[in-house]
Chain A
Amino acid sequence: MKRILILGAGTAGTMMANHLNHELDKKDWQIDIIDEKEEHHYQPGYLFLPFDIYTPDDIIKKIEDFIPKDVNLIKGQIDIILPKENVVKMQDGSEISYDILIIATGAKIAPEEIDGMKGAEWQQSVFDFYTFEGALALRNKLREWQGGKMLVHITEMPIKCPVAPLEFAFLADSFFKHKNIRDKVELTFVTPLSGAFTKPKATAALDHLLEEKNIHIEADFAIESVDNERKVIIDYGGREIPFDLLVTVPTNKGDEVIARSGMGDDLNFIPTHKATLQAMNYDNIFVLGDASNVPASKAGSVAHFEAEILTENIKHYIKGEPLSEEFDGHANCFIETGGGKALLIDFNYTHEPVEGTFPFPGVGPLRLMKESRINHMGKLAFRWIYWNMLLKGTHIPFVSSHMEEAGKNFN
């Protein structure tokens, strides 16, 4: 009996457990998955929590409800991966050996990377919304906040879901309008990038939306520190921006276990072949989702497309066949723009987001790069798809793991 061991039962790991459970012969293979947590969080829901659009119940379920019964769920903390010995050591001292290892340990925020970020004002006037606790604390703050200077801020790239900070700014604009205090809020989007997003055509569209919603943009801002007393953020060039309420996306890093195991880069992301998802230095290790350093967005949609391709590659690897270099960096993201509308973008390693229709070329019904109500309905419907299809590894009809070029206006 051989063993496939999956580290992490988040979006990526859970999808992989379901895929492999369907595909592998249980006479030959045992599948184990390790996670220290009890709960599975629908992370895209963190965006809606601060605005009282979702409640905690909408976004939290039990991990074990999504792990197939033939897959062995191990609850515990991982101490270290010993890749040369094909062993994972647990903090309780036990050791688990594997034939194939899939690392899906994700990414998390590291506010301690920036001087003063996790200071006296943390969760007083400085908040994150990339954790459940942060999003909830921010919700409580926003319920009573009466206005002032609000910054929506990105510390450094890469971050999970690079569109989420923009969506937060758009939803904040709507939220304050709804509360009739929009005129009392000065809303500014602060980014280390040169514009709203990482890809030029989408940046142009999004910059325009920011302007339309009277959200100022402070670009090229590489934060050095947060001054808790004066309530300003300061960049390396000495530029200062004052705030009354700072909503920041701190530095994102891979899990500490990756650092302890000596397998990551300077942000604990694992060097990974971007088309096969095999770890650069170890043939029997594969990396899925946010844990890898592949130059694709760190997002659930990416992990979903990766999982379909990785499943094929695990089968190839088991049979001793060459791996297929199939993953193209495909990402597909709804961007909430407030007021019950959303944009949809679809892109990959080589093609930036453009206008067009999705998923049916020339038909839609979803429109790419254009605000619409049906896109917003798509975003809300996605929570159902996530819990009921995505995690279970059910293929989503008409949505291919490769990016479709038809129906898009590349020029």
Chain B
Amino acid sequence: MEKEIAGKMISVNDEGYLTDFSQWTKEVGEAIAAENNITMTPRHWEVIAYLQNEHKNNVALSIRKIGKSNVLDIKEFYQLFPQGPLKTSTKIAGIPKPASCI
């Protein structure tokens, strides 16, 4: 389905995750962050860039991997994206919700 985000029609799934990463822009990320009551800072964007890069390299994301990433620890991840940081951050990053769970 399509949803208007930051003034553009964007393809998303029923949970609001982008289904086409090529439609992602910083403005789209910013708007999704705002919907989740998060104000983006440069540090937030560093983490988003890291997540996007991991996704590009087909690395399955998990809380444990974040903790061992040397980019940030889990505590900080929670401070930046409270309440389910992996779910929220991947949504802002325009990448699929991690299926860290079988």
Q: Which of B5-48 contact A (CB under 8 A)?
A: none
Q: Chain A: residues with CB nearer than 8 A to chain B? A: 156-158, 162, 192-194, 198, 220, 222, 224, 236-238, 266-267, 295-298
Q: Once the chains are docked, how many angstroms separate the CA of A192 from the CA of B85?
A: 11
Nearest CB of B to A156, in Å? 6
Nearest CB in chain B: distance from A306 CB, A: 14
Asked if B75 and A266 sit within 8 Å, CB to CB, the answer is no
Q: How far is the CA of A55 from the CA of B78 in the complex (A)?
A: 44
CB-based nearest A residue for B68: A266
B3 on the A face (CB < 8 A): no
Tell me the total A-B contact number using a CB cutoff of 8 A: 44
**A194→B87 contact, CB < 8 A:** yes
Pick from A156, A236, A238, A295: contact of B99, CB below 8 A.
Answer: A295
B100: A residues at CB distance < 8 A: 157
Q: Which B49-102 residues have C-beta < 8 A from chain A?
A: 62-65, 68, 74-75, 77-78, 82-85, 87, 99-102
Q: Check A236 against B78 for contact (C-beta < 8 Å).
A: yes
Chain B residues close to A by CB (< 8 Å):
62-65, 68, 74-75, 77-78, 82-85, 87, 99-102
User: How far does the Cβ of B78 sit from chain A's closest Cβ, in whole Å?
Assistant: 4
- Are B102's CB and A162's CB within 8 A? yes
| Complex Cα–Cα for A18 and B54 (A) | 42
Most A CB contacts (10 A, CB to CB) among B64, B68, B74, B101 go to B101
Residues from chain A with Cβ under 8 Å of B63 in the complex: 156, 192, 222, 236
Of all chain B residues, the one with the shortest Cβ separation from A331 is: B102
B64 / chain A contacts, CB cutoff of 8 Å:
156, 266-267
Picked from B77, B82, B84, the residue with its CB within 8 Å of the CB of A194 is B84
CA distance in complex: A298, B102 (Å): 8
Contacts known (A156-B63, A156-B64); A237 close to B101, Cβ less than 8 A = no
Q: Could you tell me if A237 and B78 are in contact, using CB atoms closer than 8 angstroms?
A: yes
User: For A298, what are the chain B residues with a Cβ–Cβ distance below 8 Å?
Assistant: 102
Minimum-distance CB pairs A-B, first 5: A198-B101, A220-B84, A157-B101, A237-B78, A236-B78
Of the residues B65, B83, B102, contact of A157 by C-beta under 8 Å: B102
Are B74 and A198 closer than 8 Å at their CB atoms?
no
- Bound complex: CA A162 to CA B99 (Å): 14
Given A237-B78, A266-B65, A266-B68, A220 and B83 contact (CB-CB distance below 8 Å):
yes
Q: How far is the CB of B33 from chain A (nearest CB, A)?
A: 17
How many Å from the CB of A349 to the closest CB on chain B?
10
The smallest beta-carbon distance between A380 and chain B, in angstroms, is 26
What is the minimal beta-carbon distance from A89 to any residue of chain B, in angstroms? 29
Chain A: which residue is nearest B76 at the CB level? A236
Residues in B whose Cβ lies below 8 Å from that of A198: 99, 101-102
Expressed in whole angstroms, the minimum distance between the Cβ of A194 and any Cβ of chain B is 7
User: Given the interface contacts A156-B64, A192-B63, A220-B87, does A236 sit within 8 Å of B101 by beta carbon?
Assistant: no
Chain B residues whose C-beta falls within 8 Å of the C-beta of A295 in the assembled complex:
99, 102
